[in-house]
Structure 1
Amino acid sequence: MARADFATVQSAPFPLAPAGLASGQALGPGLAARPNADDDSGSGGEVPSSAWRVRADAWEFLGYAVKQLAAARSLTGAGRPPRELPRDVRRLLPLLESLEMYWASPGQQYVTEMRRILEAGEYLEALNLIEPVARRVAGHNHHAQEPAQDPERESERVEEPAESRKRFEVLVIDDVSSADREALQTELHSQRRPADSFNYELVFVPSFEDAIVAVLLNPDIQACVLRPGFVPNTKQRLGRDVRSFLDRFLGKSLPQRPLDRILSLAEKLGQLRPELDLYLVAGVGIEELAGSLTRQFRRIFRRQDGLELHLSLLAGIAERYEAPFFHAVQQYSRKPAGVFHALPVSRGGSVIHSKWINDLGEFYGLNLLLAETSATSGGLDSLLDPHGSLKQAQKLAARAFGAQKSLFVTNGTSTANKIVHQSILAPGDVVLVDRNCHKSHHYALMLAGAQVSYLDAYPLNDFSFYGAVPLESIKRMLLDYRRAGRLHEVKMLALTNCTFDGIVYDVERVMEECLAIKPDLVFLWDEAWFAFAGFHHIYRRRTAMASARSLEAKFADPAYARRHAEQLRALGGGAAGGYDGGGEPDDGGPGSGVGHVSDELLLKTRLLPDPAKARVRVYSTQSTHKTLTSLRQGSMIHIHDQDFGQLNEESFREAYMTHTSTSPNYQILASLDMGRRQVEFEGYELVQRQADLAVSIAQAVARHPLLKKYFRVLGTKDLIPPQYRETSRQMPLRDGLAAMSEAWERDEFVVDPSRLTLHIGLTGVDGDTFKHDFLMDKYGIQVNKTSRNSVLFMTNIGTSRSAVAYLVEVLVKLAETFGDEQSGLSGLGQRARLARVAALTSTPPPLPDFSRFAERFRVDAQTPDGNMRDAYFESYKAGSCEYFSAAELMRRVAAGEEMVSASFVTPYPPGFPVLVPGQVITEEILAFMSALDTREIHGFNPELGFRVLTGELASRQKPV
């Protein structure tokens, strides 16, 4: 550092300050820094609600600033400390004091002591306190010994190897004196034993509101201890976002009676983070309390039960930490064995002594080979008939994901979808399904022989992909089947919750209103890209399992039955013949939930089902490997089905046997077990982080003058038409958790903030070329989906801040490249470029809706369902098919000939079948196919053309 006097260093802005910190913007996680006599910076402006990044930046910047002060002191010589600290440091200290109130480590006392040392001018001593905290909070050195809450108490910590114990924090909610806090802390610390597998520190907050804020901000909290002395309201000055979120989440007033307040807080903590262990410490009458509080609390203690509380805290963490199948695989790999079965790779036998493939073992490691087996011995259990460690692992997964039952699948969600469809649907059953869903659903429905009735999602023609299926369309289809007298044939509704592009349904509302029309309808929610959602309080409410639990609770509430009866009377249904099926069902079949109320009135009303008749039968398929930690093809099926034991258990077992390999990959199963453990401990933190990082990318694109010249991140207003949303924010999370929470409570559809659809039309480069030639080949940026003029970026729980910075850097370089190319173009080149831009920014041929099934594959002309299985296997017959070029097909269709597809035709992108077996080919479909610029079209032979049902079979009419 060049020689400079202290005053110069003190007044200069710090060049490495994280964005916003030096200017006083974005200074905290929803907390305005408390005013201080030594702080002239005010509150630091409006602050975001996510603490993880701001806290890390604040500690890192403080370390940098103090290092500069220490360097200046060494240059100017030791002497009298300055009269006051630099403005930037004075701004950070009250911020960190406010934040660290909600963390045990380093904690508020630590910051107070650090402030004292800084104000005394002992900068090197302060730096020694700051740097280890900054490294840990930033995510480095996870196994380093944690700083104590008070630097003077470091010697009191139990000596242990640095990496031997996992650490967590326990939130104690009670308005007690510092002496009482110290006494409880001392009591629990005294219970520690060298054999303990975990270590914990205590965080104390005095109020109901502080408890909510602590659980929101501090993901290290894994257990909460409620003591009756806590007060309702915080004394902290909260930022607008956190204050607004609290007001929405808690309502206008908190319960005043202590017992009601305890129950309410337990309920709210469970809503935010259901994985937390809750304990109650009561002074008197715990015997009377125990019976009424067992659902809310893991255990209830008297104040004197310090040892039992300590042991319970550790036991609760140990239960979540258990990964039975992973541990069984570990143990198996350590046992000596003689292999006399059909897996030469087991124990590395065919690899490690090979002269030619020993590098396979070197690359993957010996543990992988030692753990390979085809025997169900050594505690490894059988996937097809689990009784031991695997059965227990699936039970733990059900607990984590909020399901009644969860099953592991080792060959992806494509197989999971086939299992669920086959278990529920029999030939002739009608299923309503989004035509835009993953191709595995279409193949599964063909195999099951179901009558398929396709629902059309709303199109986003400007970007060449679909949104989601409006609830009105689903209700209208159900009512059409009622009118045709076939509602009793409708068995299932299958939808994609969180589409590839991030559009999410209001799952509970969809199921609730559909059950008002068809009380026994079964739901399959494909959540392949949404497995992470169950571990964040805002996302969770739109998941299939959370919605199923909510509906079951509603239907058991007498108040809900009264609301249903009131709605029935308001609609004019009366005591009999109402929309809830009070009289004979219109279609004459069993299970109808609708009587004689007009269809248009039902479409306009937010319907409530009859809780005495509605059954909650919900299935969810999730690709754990796509959005959580698992080896490739690791997926799960989650079930919340009130009638599973009576109606589906046997058929589900047979379907599972049909599609599950007898030789499953045990490494995939073990990774599913560990992925479950991870999200129970850190899922909340990781999901919040992935969403925040995505928002930071969107903000960078919107603010950078060069990036916004060529790119735009599409938001809610681009992807969701106004009739499907009540709120109006373009990117709700950008405006805070309160704004996101409001949108996710009120809007019919919302956009997952961790999905970023980047519009690239102004570059003049189509999405497929942009993906391969620019992102992947040139810079190694991997993306999955593109459209004609967009590229989809997804953050996930493994995305780092460095990866985000690299992506922004790459986009800037690409924008510079486009700018340089544009400036060097001749007049002719400019016109060609403008033509490409015009083609990518204008509306292409509209996305084609599903046309119709040919008459011979339909039941009647009133309802749209068709039998794909008949059409698919018709093509097996000799002479039944012929190939036609696109031009020849267009000529024949224009001339009025009915041309029927013999196969699935699925272009990637957009990734949905444009044609399915038995579907009539239209001019609109052919125009759309001709406009596609994609390298991959499944089911289409570019040399031969489209495969079409022809000949004598094509003219045959549906038999009477």
Structure 2
Amino acid sequence: MFADKYKTPIADALLALREKTKHSFHALPVFNGNSIVNSELNEKYKSIYGDRFLGCELTTTGKLFDSFFFSSSVIRESEDMAARLFGADGTLYVTTGTTTSNQIAATALYQHQGPVLIDKSCHQSIHFIFDTLGAPLDYVRSEFHCEKSERSAWNIDSLLQSVASMEQSGRSYEVIVLTAQSYEGVIYNVPKILSLLLKSGIRTRKFLIDEAWGAANYFNPDLKEITAMNIGHLMNEYPDLEVICTQSSHKSLSTLRQASMIHFRGPEALRERLNIAKFRIHSTSPSYPILGSLDMARAQMEGEGEQCVANALQLAEYFKEQLKNNIEWSCYHLCSMPDMGDMNAFVKQDPCKVSIDINGLGMPAAEVQAYLFNEHGVYVNRITKNSILLNFHIGIQPPAVSAILAGLAALQRQQVSQSVQKIISDRFIIPYPPGVPLVVPGEQMTDEIFKKMEEIKKTGIAILTI
């Protein structure tokens, strides 16, 4: 059973091919570094890619490996294992990014000339492909907003009103496209929303779910039940239902960049349409290193997924506790979800997406971003005018948390020393041992005190904030 969990048919086949293939008269001159042996750039190539990576840049196909588009061997075996893991009827691997996955999914679903309803917050590629397909488009727009974090969500009442109006006109949406999770960490309860739509009496049976950021949610016990493929009960009740979700695997799993998965629930005819769309749209030169990473990431999540996600959650909670309860980070505040009224029953906040209000620093978020990277080697991508967003994915380890905490603390000390504003402590700050307060409530926090706290920490003595 242990071996089955970590079975990697694609990766194993690539390793075997790498050892067996000595010379290739097909393509990829860079295979095994052959084309750069005498190049001045040889060492630079190797410093970036290494010898082993270039050995997996193969073009072998057919019976010697498998067909990427009409798989029947190791690729199909791995895709079927992924489908079982994510609770899907089938899975397709994509090596050219989720933009391609969205194009494949939309093409497979949209067969006629009916209107399409799209969540405006979906990825741009979804908007572009339906526009290219000539679909008449309507949009569901965000109505709830958090000014600081820029978290937003649409209203379930507006969604229901849109589909009801279309039905009353004598038509129905051919496809409805929804976002499962936003970049900022707003997670929609997809099964509950689909159930509500279907029970309202709509005739729509085709749904595309943009689940780019949601792959890891399948391994979180508190979030798995609201993922896009957790709709077995709906498939039983509505056998003509077709639901496709697309995932940017590299955003939350251990894959290479541009690795993507398409999962679907529906009849075998849907698989056929997806295969045809993939053949028409995907590059005919798939990346074998990316393909191998999809296979291995799937195996990792099958064997270790729940523990990986639990570790990430633990680190995120530790970080939030430090920020809330320690005077060293008193300038920062956690941004909570905006109140959404009745919509609260249909959304959750991703506990691994931590939005931080930095307004107390008195400096632009772009400068905070630059400081953290240039001075502490910490990269933060998402910023707003008054906040930064941290994504505690499964690749975040304790040293990374220590680094971001140290960077934020150092930045606060720097700003305090340059500011005429006074920070007054509302707590006791006590090094223990010996248990003598360094700061008492009502005392001003000076740069000297912050430096003293840093020196005490380096000795291993605990600093209690009470």
Give 1:464 shift. 6.5
Q: Deviations over 1:484-518 (max 9, x none)?
A: 2222xx11221111111111111111000111222
Which of 715, 721, 733 is the matching residue for 2:336?
A: 715
1:272-311 alignment to 2 at 5 Å? none
Q: Which residue of 2 aligns with 1:187?
A: none
Which of 780, 797, 815 is the matching residue for 2:377?
A: 780
1:601-680 alignment to 2 at 5 Å? 611=237, 615-641=240-266, 643-645=267-269, 648-680=270-302
Q: Distance in 2 between matches of 1:650 and 1:706?
A: 58
8 Å contact kept, 1:351–1:358: no
SS at match of 2:147: helix
Q: Distance in 2 between matches of 1:382 and 1:503?
A: 38
Q: Distance in 1 between matches of 2:167 and 2:287?
A: 46
Q: Distance in 1 between matches of 2:349 and 2:151?
A: 13
Give 1:531 shift. 0.6
Give 1:381 shift. 1.5
Q: Which residue of 2 aligns with 1:521?
A: 205
Instruction: List, as ranges, runs of 4+ consecutive aligned residues in structure 1 with deviation greater than 6 Å.
Output: none
Q: Distance in 2 between matches of 1:399 and 1:349?
A: 40
TM-score, with length taken from structure 2: 0.86
Q: Which residue of 2 aligns with 1:348?
A: 33
Report the AA paired with residue 530 of structure 1.
G
1:384 paired with 2:9, answer: no
Which of 40, 46, 53 is the matching residue for 1:361?
A: 46
Q: Which residue of 2 aligns with 1:757?
A: 355
8 Å contact kept, 1:427–1:448: no
Q: Distance in 2 between matches of 1:800 and 1:338?
A: 41
Report the AA paired with residue 508 of structure 1.
P
Give 1:412 shift. 1.2
Q: Deviations over 1:855-904 (max 9, x none)?
A: xxxxxxxxxxxxxxxxxxxxxxxxxxxxxxxxxxxxxxxxxxxxxxxxxx
Tell me: CA distance 1:508–1:356, structure 2 relative to 1, closer, same or farther (3 Å). closer
Number of paired residues? Answer: 421
Which of 13, 16, 19 is the matching residue for 1:331?
A: 16
1:98-177 alignment to 2 at 5 Å? none
Tell me: CA distance 1:767–1:444, structure 2 relative to 1, closer, same or farther (3 Å). farther
Q: Distance in 2 between matches of 1:418 and 1:783?
A: 29
Give 1:363 shift. 3.9
Give 1:812 shift. 0.8
Give 1:445 shift. 1.4
Q: Deviations over 1:238-286 (max 9, x none)?
A: xxxxxxxxxxxxxxxxxxxxxxxxxxxxxxxxxxxxxxxxxxxxxxxxx
Q: Distance in 2 between matches of 1:755 and 1:685?
A: 18
Q: Distance in 2 between matches of 1:615 and 1:661?
A: 31
8 Å contact kept, 1:622–1:635: yes
Give 1:614 shift. 6.3
Q: Distance in 2 between matches of 1:323 and 1:753?
A: 30
Q: Distance in 1 between matches of 2:358 and 2:65?
A: 50
8 Å contact kept, 1:352–1:361: no
Which of 489, 503, 509 is the matching residue for 2:192?
A: 509
SS at match of 2:217: helix
* Superposed CA RMSD: 2.0
Report the AA paired with residue 715 of structure 1.
S
Report the AA paired with residue 435 of structure 1.
K
1:410 paired with 2:87, answer: no
Rg (Cα) greater in structure: 1
Give 1:336 shift. 4.1
8 Å contact kept, 1:426–1:449: no
Q: Distance in 2 between matches of 1:377 and 1:423?
A: 25
SS at match of 1:654: helix
8 Å contact kept, 1:379–1:389: no
Q: Distance in 1 between matches of 2:256 and 2:264?
A: 22
1:802 paired with 2:399, answer: yes
1:318 paired with 2:3, answer: yes
8 Å contact kept, 1:427–1:449: no
8 Å contact kept, 1:527–1:622: yes
8 Å contact kept, 2:312–2:396: yes
Tell me: CA distance 1:463–1:420, structure 2 relative to 1, closer, same or farther (3 Å). same
Give 1:406 shift. 0.5
SS at match of 1:468: strand
Q: Which residue of 2 aligns with 1:820?
A: 417
Q: Distance in 1 between matches of 2:157 and 2:411?
A: 43
1:544 paired with 2:218, answer: no
Give 1:377 shift. 5.4
Tell me: CA distance 1:459–1:768, structure 2 relative to 1, closer, same or farther (3 Å). farther
Tell me: CA distance 1:687–1:722, structure 2 relative to 1, closer, same or farther (3 Å). same
Report the AA paired with residue 343 of structure 1.
L
Q: Distance in 2 between matches of 1:364 and 1:462?
A: 43
Q: Which runs of 5+ in 1 are unaligned?
A: 1-315, 556-610, 726-746, 826-960
1:730-879 alignment to 2 at 5 Å? 747-771=345-369, 773-823=370-420
Q: Distance in 2 between matches of 1:752 and 1:428?
A: 37
Tell me: CA distance 1:466–1:426, structure 2 relative to 1, closer, same or farther (3 Å). farther
Give 1:328 shift. 0.4
Report the AA paired with residue 617 of structure 1.
E
Q: Which residue of 1 aligns with 2:315?
A: 693
Q: Distance in 1 between matches of 2:146 and 2:305?
A: 36
SS at match of 2:348: strand
SS at match of 1:537: coil
Which of 44, 47, 60 is the matching residue for 1:375?
A: 60
TM-score, with length taken from structure 1: 0.42
Q: Which residue of 1 aligns with 2:170?
A: 485
Tell me: CA distance 1:720–1:680, structure 2 relative to 1, closer, same or farther (3 Å). farther
Give 1:551 shift. 2.5
8 Å contact kept, 1:533–1:543: yes
Q: Distance in 2 between matches of 1:616 and 1:821?
A: 61
SS at match of 2:229: helix
Give 1:529 shift. 0.9
Report the AA paired with residue 349 of structure 2.
V
Q: Distance in 1 between matches of 2:19 and 2:281?
A: 32
Q: Distance in 1 between matches of 2:280 and 2:384?
A: 36
Greater RCO (Cα-Cα under 8 Å, separation 6 or more) = 2
8 Å contact kept, 2:246–2:262: yes
Tell me: CA distance 1:815–1:400, structure 2 relative to 1, closer, same or farther (3 Å). same
Give 1:720 shift. 3.8
SS at match of 2:27: coil
SS at match of 1:756: strand
Give 1:652 shift. 2.1
Q: Distance in 1 between matches of 2:220 and 2:255?
A: 19
8 Å contact kept, 1:328–1:378: no
Report the AA paired with residue 468 of structure 1.
A
Report the AA paired with residue 651 of structure 1.
R
8 Å contact kept, 1:463–1:787: yes
SS at match of 2:321: helix
Report the AA paired with residue 164 of structure 2.
L
Report the AA paired with residue 416 of structure 2.
G
Q: Distance in 1 between matches of 2:315 and 2:180?
A: 22
Tell me: CA distance 1:466–1:793, structure 2 relative to 1, closer, same or farther (3 Å). closer
Report the AA paired with residue 314 of structure 2.
D
Report the AA paired with residue 404 of structure 2.
L
SS at match of 1:458: strand
